[in-house]
Chains A and B, each alone.
Chain A
Amino acid sequence: MTMTTKKDGQLVLVVEDYRDAREMYAEYLRFSGFRVEEASNGVEALEKASELLPDIILMDLALPRMDGWEATRRLKQDKRTRRIPIVALTGHALAGHAEGARQAGCDSFVTKPCLPDALVAEVRRMLESSKGVKRGSSKASRT
């Protein structure tokens, strides 16, 4: 596990309406060296993403006010935010959900329940792979 300083840490936006899960992931991400911002619904996620331009977004799909699919679609249509990789968090391990997440523009997804260290591993993997294509295709690589 690579430890980095908070100052140097990359910014992760965690979008999750269930507070316990959101704070759990946030705590473990900070513990793992990332800077973390939180949003509890799709509208808030759009506002913070536009304002802070995080390095990566963890997006729960079932959200109040605006769901994760719609939020992802809007982020991927916005020039400023389209390059931010988005990892979908889905409670339904169904192909249909995965397909829906991909069509909405998610770059990868993990199925809940997901242990914090597995989530961090996926975040690191996505950041690593997006680093290689930053100057190339706007599309992030996929699993």
Chain B
Amino acid sequence: MLVASRMTPPRLTPRVSSDAKLALVEFVLGSLDIEASADQALDWLATYAGVRQALCMAVDASGRHLLSVGERGVELAASWGFSIELADQDQPLVRMLNSRVPGHFSGGAVPAWSPLGPSPFHVIPLRAPQSDMHGPADGLLLVAGVARLSADVLWAADVLGRQLFRLRSRHSLSETRFGRERVLLYSIINAVSDPILLTDIEGKLIIANSRAEKLFYSPDDASEGRRQAVSFNNMLFSAALSSGAMEPDEPARRELLLVDPIEGSDLLFEHISSAVRDLREGTSVVSILRNVTDLGRATAEFEDSQRRLRVVETEVREERHRLELIIDSVADPILVTDPNGDIVLMNAPSEKIFAFHWGAADQVQRRVRANGAHFTSFISNLLFSGAQERWLGEINLTNPETGAPLPVEAVAGKILSEKGELTWVVTILHDRTEAMEKGRLYEELKHASEELEMKIHAATADIAQQNELLRRQALELEQASTLKSQFLANMSHEFRTPLNAILGYTHMLLQGVQGGIRPEQRTSLTRVDSNARHLLALINDILDITRIEAGRMPLHVTTFRLPDLVREVMSELEAIISRSKLQVVSDISPRTPLISSDRQKLKQIVLNLLSNALKFTPSGWVRITARHDAPSKTVVITVADTGVGIAPGDQEKVFEDFRQLDTSTTRPFSGTGLGLAICRRLAGMLGGRISLRSTVGDGSQFTLTLPLRLRRK
């Protein structure tokens, strides 16, 4: 407690709670019993200051004795009735009554009669601060068992001193009451945890409690920083006081920012000040400082978060604005519905369908309501669809302005909260008018295409049918042709069985098997034989042609030497050659390579060509030559004569069936007229061809060109 700068009370360290001190002060002030007060104080010392041995002594009312009024840890015998004559000025304790400071007895200085025994002890003079500064003390406090006197011990001694003084001077009631109340007041304001100050109106300090003392008072040995902080605080406080007008009954409230002199941190106080008018002392100011640092911090944080909230709100508003712009700019209608199915947001295209202006035509309103009903029905489907998060459907809406059908495809998505609860449903509608029109056109196109396809199909079927008919006819023709050839072949064979008998019996008759015959009979039989042979030749040739055409002339390919074949033919024709008187020349190179072909058919061709040449050459020569043409891998056989020759117009006809230019039948081999036709067919079978060069009267030249190796097809 600091009571103005002119007072020097013991400096208290806050080791003992103010409540305990207040309790002691209260007890003392409420008591008029010196011994009870001493006892209480000694109890307090034992409890709070650790003092085990103590003795309290007081000057009696007569002013002649120093008497023991209370003890702790002291032998009763030693203290009971212990008194000291104040007249004995040499008594060490008597001398201590006049001392201003505590004393210490130890060692040899401890009196032999000490009530505390031989232990060293402290002696504290007990006097009231306001008592005569130079008079003797009202009592003594003897303390043993502690090395040093603590602040609490000194404080308790102070309290005891004031009580002794108060009780001794009870003769003045008013004096006593004032003192009591003053002590109580000091104790009360000291016990308050908020700093309390009494100042003049300029802020000059009159009384401060211990809390305020820390802020506005620095001890002499304080650090430089602390002193500066204290002077700074005093300055701020004075400035705060002078800033506001002082109204007597109206406490002023303001914020005051001070510095904690020890911590150095900012302390924010609510400063409540009120003016106190006193007739004698003039106006003074009571200030109570309430620490609101934590409150201030909380307020600052609150404001900070408020500010941040405002920023976020602004951002959200902008974000929403942007979102609305985006949603509005989407050409497709977008709607947001809450879990009840009520529309909470829609973009501009949606509004054209689901909203109408006040005063819109009745039919427009009706259509809008119908659209809304359709939409609600769609949404309720989604809401009842359970877990499904997306819903796709088609809604047949109407354009409210025109009444035109507006088919839309609707895609709805559920928006769920973090807890999985349905919060919104967002639906996007897509106009399907165009798609449906396209679909309709596509269907028409498809239909037209299908019709076309059907027509083509029908036409194709017709053609296929006709083709099938033609194919069948061709097959029938082919079969007919084959049957005809087959028939001819069989018939030719059947012809030969009776011919065989005719020829055989004619021959037997001519040989005289059944007896001799007359010359006339022989002539007739010879004509029968000759005609029968001619018929046989015709039948054989027809048989060959029909077999070739019926595909019943098989090929038998072998490898053979051409010169051998020509020699065979020459020898078979030997009889005719010798009769003809013609020069017949064979010019076949012995180096002619081997031929792979059908030997019998080649021989038939060569035989036919040679016999033709002999037949139609009256004089001159007949020559057969053969050469190998390596590049074309062919062999070329030529039969040339100096015969009658064939006119250019007839040269192709000689290869036709039943053509014979010279119809003379006088020759032994008059021929059938089928020879060259057969030769050309046989040459074709062998992969070759026959050509003719001839001049009338200058002979003919038949050329057979054959591949060296016949390839089977």
Contact = CB atoms under 8 A, between A and B. Distances in A.
A110 to B, nearest CB: 11
B607 to A, nearest CB: 15
A95 B507 contact: no
B704 interface: no
B336 interface: no
B406 interface: no
A132 interface: no
Interface string B482-521: 0000000000010011111101110110010100000000
Nearest to B494: A91
B480 to A, nearest CB: 23
Contacts of A95: 554, 556, 600
B497 A18 contact: yes
Interface string A19-38: 01100110110010000000
A96 interface: yes
A114 B556 CA distance: 24
Given A25-B504, A95-B600, A113-B504, 9 more contacts: A21-B497, A27-B513, A31-B508, A91-B496, A112-B496, A113-B499, A113-B503, A114-B504, A116-B504
A24 B514 CA distance: 12
Interface string A80-115: 000000000001101110000000000000001111
Interface residues of A, number: 19
A-B residue pairs, 5 tightest by C-beta:
A113-B500, A20-B501, A24-B504, A31-B513, A115-B507
11 contacts: A18-B497, A24-B504, A24-B505, A24-B508, A31-B508, A31-B513, A113-B499, A115-B504, A115-B507, A116-B504, A116-B508
Interface of B: 493, 496-501, 503-505, 507-508, 511, 513, 536, 554, 556, 600
A24 B600 contact: no
Contacts of A113: 496, 499-500, 503-504, 536
B499 A27 contact: no
Nearest to B506: A115
B493 A92 contact: yes
A117 B497 contact: no
A91 B497 contact: yes
A117 B503 CA distance: 11
Secondary structure of the A contact surface, majority rule: helix
Contacts of A94: 554
Nearest to A25: B504
A94 B550 CA distance: 14
A95 B598 CA distance: 11
Nearest to A119: B504
A63 to B, nearest CB: 13
B493 A91 contact: yes
Contacts of B554: 94-96
Nearest to B544: A93
B686 to A, nearest CB: 15
Contacts of B507: 115-117
A31 B511 CA distance: 11
Contacts of B511: 117
Interface in A1-59: 18, 20-21, 24-25, 27-28, 31
Contacts of B500: 21, 112-114
A26 to B, nearest CB: 11
A35 B106 CA distance: 194
Contacts of A117: 507, 511
B572 to A, nearest CB: 16
B507 to A, nearest CB: 5
Contact of A115 (B503, B556, B600): B503
A28 B513 contact: yes
Contacts of A24: 501, 504-505, 508
Contacts of A115: 503-504, 507
Contacts of B556: 95
A116 B506 CA distance: 10
B483 to A, nearest CB: 19
B678 to A, nearest CB: 14
Given A28-B508, A95-B554, A115-B507, A21 B513 contact: no
A48 to B, nearest CB: 23
Contacts of B493: 91-92
B600 to A, nearest CB: 7
Nearest to A23: B501
A91 B498 CA distance: 12
A102 to B, nearest CB: 14
A61 to B, nearest CB: 12
A123 to B, nearest CB: 15
Contacts of A91: 493, 496-497
Contacts of B508: 24, 27-28, 31, 116
A96 B600 CA distance: 13
A137 B600 CA distance: 31
A113 B497 CA distance: 7
B711 to A, nearest CB: 20
Nearest to A89: B500
